[in-house]
Structure 1
Amino acid sequence: MSETNRRIRLASRPVGVPQPEDFIHDDAPIGSPGEGEVLLRTRYLSLDPYMRGRLSDAKSYAKPVEVGDVIVGATVSEVVESNSAEFSAGQTVLSYGGWQSYSVEPAAHLRLLDPEAAPVTTALGVLGMPGFTAYSGLLEIGRPQAGETVAVAAATGPVGSAVGQIAKVKGCTTVGIAGGPEKVAYLEELGFDVALDHRGDDLRGALKQAVPQGIDVYFENVSGPVWDAVLPRLNTFARVPVCGLAAGYNATEAPAGPDRSAGLMRNILTKSLLLRGFIQTEFVESMFSDFLRDMGQWVREGKVKYREDITEGIDNAPQTFVGMLEGKNFGKTIIQVGE
């Protein structure tokens, strides 16, 4: 094979917003699969907010990327060579090849995709980890009931848009919060009952006017000023699945201003609130098969729509990644690596 493996590796741990010098672009020989392994050519690379945490060495739920290593990430890949009876050349799989054009992975870690059933990119979005994050967090922790009000921030992203549409399927009033008029218009297109711009002058006032009945479930993706506006609107016994804290991912110090933890604890106590952080992997064994069945059906029926933001070229991954963290993406952020 005459080609080489184009890679993007971590050069240094970013301080604040990742900079171009934090990434190494290089080429390496293409590996060969050992027993039970498969050589894959990357077609699509998923970019997700959680990756920012993996570039840090702060203690978290997953091991950080080591300086010098290829950056992690889910991929849709083509099987080039297989040393496993489970896969053969030419098949398309969901993998975890990271930021590189080729990878060698254990066959046990791969999931076969059917390009006839759905576009393969959906395995990185609405029918993949983001969609399952929305499904599991909302249904297992949020437990929305028909007639309740469900709110979600970053509502045009792959997780937030799925949360709102699943809540609608369940008979709830849905409130989407996003940044900018174009994204707010898209929320209306998706069928959200209320669509608000967090970049407006008074999100707290807008929420009070739009949902005088209060909020029963708030799916937390961002924290920061959006959370400050939502907290006073939470009803007694409201549930808050905590999925992400994107507003602070590039922060280098604690937020300025007074310590609001006492007020938060008072709300938790007096309103009997449930705040529950989660990582979607804890629900895979119990819920993933149901997710594939339900979400697949909802997508086919048009009850759940999705949008993808695809950029060509693996060398564009760093700048696209930074843009995503700043809210410049519109839908599921994907890098097209190969044809």
Structure 2
Amino acid sequence: MPSSTQVQLVRRPRGWPTEEDFRTVSVELGDLAPGQVRVRNEFLSVDPYMRGRMNDGPSYAPPYALGETMTGAAVGRVEESTSDELPVGALVLHGLGWRDVTQADASAFRRVEEIPGGPSSLHLGLFGMPGLTAYAGLTAVAGLREGERVFVSGAAGAVGTAAGQIARLLGARTVIGSAGSAEKVALLTSRYGYDVALNYKEAPIREQLRAAAPEGIDVFFDNVGGDHLEAALDVLNPNGRAAVCGSISAYNDSAPKPGPDNLSRIVTRTLTLRGFLVGQHPDLADEYREAVTRWFAAGELAYDETVVDGVENAVTAFLSMLRGGNTGKMVVRV
């Protein structure tokens, strides 16, 4: 009887999650029913949004159930099939992560192509949800125009590394990014197309951004919130736009923090702040796939991955990602 190693949530975190909030179990899998496939995952994704699903409260995605295996993006290969649609060996993308082997109806999986010159994990990063998030935020949400100045918070993460490069390819005049270490800051300018990179741990980001953007910024792509949002509000030019993608600085707070002290600038500078979810933009998926394939083949996009081995270490990878331990996409290699 085939089995699957799976990670379950057993306790709602209060503040920062700990290893004790999870358990790893072995689950026996039955025989395949007609039209089903069994997939051995190659890579699992751990993402910031998963922290919100560990809370029992209203959000855009339902909370994880206690005592049940969590879900998330994964890419793997079909190793057994009773479906004509997905033969053995097919590479598939799906939402049944946090486990090494999964099986379900073939409709739960989407066949994807091999990426020339790249690993299958790129379907979880640059070619997947983080890349599309960056593209949708810059184009559909912020309406980036050629010649504009852009600031990206959390610029060394999966979305941020994509956003900086895509902004450059779309014609941004200046791209500024923030990160939390000297090594990451160096990568932003040497590898990811950023003109200026700021280490928010060295000095208040509000002071650094004001000095780095004497002519202001037109677009803010926000992954962090908190002091980064406050800093951006200080320097957004009249009619500036903010695409608010995430607020990782607050995901593990046990109590609300005071908001920005300069919200009045939204009125006085006629700014637009718009939150968005990548799931609201399926219409851009084909457009982005064509663009990212072209850019990657031409050598115009770089990527980094932080890879943790073993599904039994998925929680460790997740916790590290929340604390900024990744450069580029954090993935678990199964």
Class of the TM-score when normalised by the shorter of the 2 chains:
over 0.9
Aligned to 2:176: 175
Match of 2:274 among 268, 273, 276: 276
Corresponding position: 1:65 with 2:67:
no
Counterpart of 2:72, as a letter, is G
Deviation beyond 3 Å, 4+ runs, structure 1 = none
TM-score, length basis structure 2: 0.95
How far apart, in 2, do the equivalents of 1:303 and 1:194 lie? 19
Matches within 5 A, 1:183-262: 183-189=184-190, 190-255=192-257, 260=260
C-alpha displacement of 1:216: 0.4
Aligned to 1:312: 309
TM-score, length basis structure 1: 0.94
Counterpart of 1:244, as a letter, is G
Aligned to 2:5: 6
Counterpart of 1:102, as a letter, is V
How far apart, in 2, do the equivalents of 1:122 and 1:240 lie? 27
Q: Could you tell which deviates more after superposition, 48-57 or 108-117?
A: 108-117
Report SS of the residue matched to 2:77.
strand
How far apart, in 2, do the equivalents of 1:244 and 1:24 lie? 27
Alignment RMSD: 1.4
C-alpha displacement of 1:73: 1.1
Aligned to 1:126: 126
Residue segments in structure 2 that go unaligned for 5+ positions in a row: none
Q: Is the 8 A contact 2:75 2:120 kept in 1?
A: yes
C-alpha displacement of 1:260: 4.2
Q: Is the 8 A contact 1:74 1:94 kept in 2?
A: yes
Matches within 5 A, 1:70-149: 70-115=69-114, 117=116, 118-149=118-149
C-alpha displacement of 1:177: 0.7
How far apart, in 2, do the equivalents of 1:106 and 1:143 lie? 39
Q: Could you tell which deviates more after superposition, 68-77 or 28-37?
A: 28-37
Counterpart of 1:176, as a letter, is G
C-alpha displacement of 1:146: 1.4
Q: Is the 8 A contact 2:40 2:76 kept in 1?
A: yes
Q: Could you tell which deviates more after superposition, 68-77 or 100-109?
A: 100-109
Report SS of the residue matched to 2:240.
strand
How far apart, in 1, do the equivalents of 2:105 and 2:51 lie? 25
Residue segments in structure 1 that go unaligned for 5+ positions in a row: none
May I ask how many residue pairs the two structures share in their alignment?
331
The verdict on how the C-alpha distance between 1:165 and 1:36 changes in structure 2, with shifts beyond 3 A counting, is same
